[in-house]
A and B are shown apart, each in its own frame.
Chain A
Amino acid sequence: MLNNELPVTRDTLLNEVAARRHQGYRFVTVTCVDLGDRFDILYHFDKDYVLYNLRLSLGRTENLPSISSIFFAAVLVENELKDLFGIPVTDLAIDYGGRFLLSEGSPVAPQRKPDAPPAQPAQTKDGAVK
């Protein structure tokens, strides 16, 4: 847990980011942490040397709405998330198509942890599936 942190959802993200802009915050960067079952997406903003953080918990197959329409400076780091973690980011102001940091033949989403295998249905002793 970081100081000055506010949890957001995909539905409230853009409104909260726009609110930071109206309050005079500077966009700093976005950090993605792969938790294995979900991603933590942290949006960092600064005003007078104090960081303000938005934390979005994102499912492994969910789309991430781009904030580049609000802070254009975010477009490069959002392309980086797409490259390194394989997160589909929607409505990017400039979409490098997964070729921002990585080139053809590079490993796919190299910083993404392997997805957990789908849960196997439990079986009874006689082999019947529960």
Chain B
Amino acid sequence: MSKRTIIPFGPQHPVLPEPIQLRLVMEEERVVEALPAVGYIHRGLEKLVEKKDYNQCVFLAERVCGICSFLHSVTYCQGLEEIMSVTIPDRARFLRLIWGEVHRVHSHLLWLGLLADSFGFENVFMHAWRCREMVLDLLERTAGHRVMLGVSCVGGVRRDISDEGLADILRTVDALQKEFDEFVPVVLNDYSIKQRTVGVGKLTKEQAAELGAVGPVARASGIARDFRETGYAAYGEVGFKIVTETAGDCYARMKVRCGEMYECLNMVRRAVAAMPAGAINVPVKGNPTGEVVARLEQPRGEVIYYLKGNGAKNLERMRIRTPTFANLAPLLAMLPGCELADVPVIVLSIDPCISCTER
């Protein structure tokens, strides 16, 4: 047996956008075992909820993650609306879907750029992030901010999108589709990218199910599970197609996310076409009493919010399980057997977000 060494990968590493350490047990260049170490960015956000009014916590939830911020606040609001038996207006449900799907496109483009950066493909990195700028500019024009939209509230949304704004969304979606048509096939068929991703970091369907993988990680291993299927917000009316692959490697995870970007654009088009008129929120009175588990499909997978209120203005407990937390155990199954040089690509292939994992 070769001599075993332990290499600390992270928390400071050129390809890691956020701090996580993997203690890699190596036999020469091959990974035998990996153990994650987090705790570099724990902020105690769940504890802070006990000190804030439940309406203020909408903004707190939004700041759990700097990428899927809007979807965190929507999950929180959906949970409280269920506890307080609030039915939000139809237009608010459609607006939540549109901003949510636009957010998903921005998250996947950010991820694609980072993945390309992890194997040194700077052109793809820059092109993906250039497209992402188009998405962020659209968010700013429709919501007033590029990342922290601040448009969610318990009872609906705070801000409407005008007819001109909806037309702007359609124009941007068409422009994005044109960009995707040009560069996504190149990305998926490029020899160098395939060399670095095909057959790398494999996760079988059985492993994905056993270890509780969620989101594109699970779908790339053949598990057709997407919480949007339950029809929350306006997904029931707009409909969508689950994108799945079966290979379970880094390439399959990339293919799933690229397919989802197209699907997001289609959903936004259908939502704009079917946008109902009317109010965008309803007044909410009283304080929450009871407990609920709210779930929603974020770009990285299923997010869980457990909320408990006792009739006071502050919640008694908020607990968040983010998709990256669920995908850490599957990551440990992808790494053994790979080369050290493949570790950054495999880690990036789960689209890790450590800030929201630690909260």
Contact = CB atoms under 8 A, between A and B. Distances in A.
Given A102-B42, A110-B44, A28 B212 contact: yes
B317 A100 contact: no
A76 B212 contact: no
A90 to B, nearest CB: 20
A49 to B, nearest CB: 5
Chain A interface size, as a band, is 20 to 34
B211 A72 contact: yes
A77 to B, nearest CB: 7
A111 B358 contact: no
A27 B44 CA distance: 24
B41 to A, nearest CB: 10
Contacts of B30: none
B39 A102 contact: yes
Nearest to B325: A76
Contacts, number: 69
Contact of A42 (B209, B306, B326): B306
A26 B325 contact: no
Contacts of A31: 306, 317, 319
A2 B304 contact: no
Chain B interface size, as a band, is 20 to 34
A100 B47 contact: no
B230 interface: yes
Nearest to A48: B225
A73 B329 contact: yes
Contact of A73 (B225, B316, B326): B326
20 contacts: A1-B290, A1-B291, A28-B321, A29-B304, A29-B321, A31-B317, A31-B319, A33-B308, A34-B317, A42-B306, A49-B227, A49-B229, A51-B295, A75-B329, A76-B36, A76-B325, A76-B328, A94-B35, A100-B38, A101-B39
Interface of B: 35-36, 38-39, 42, 44, 46-47, 209-212, 225, 227, 229-230, 290-293, 295, 302, 304, 306, 308, 316-317, 319, 321, 325-326, 328-329, 358
**What 10 A-B pairs are tightest by C-beta distance, nearest first?**
A29-B321, A73-B212, A73-B329, A31-B319, A31-B306, A101-B42, A101-B39, A33-B317, A27-B212, A73-B211
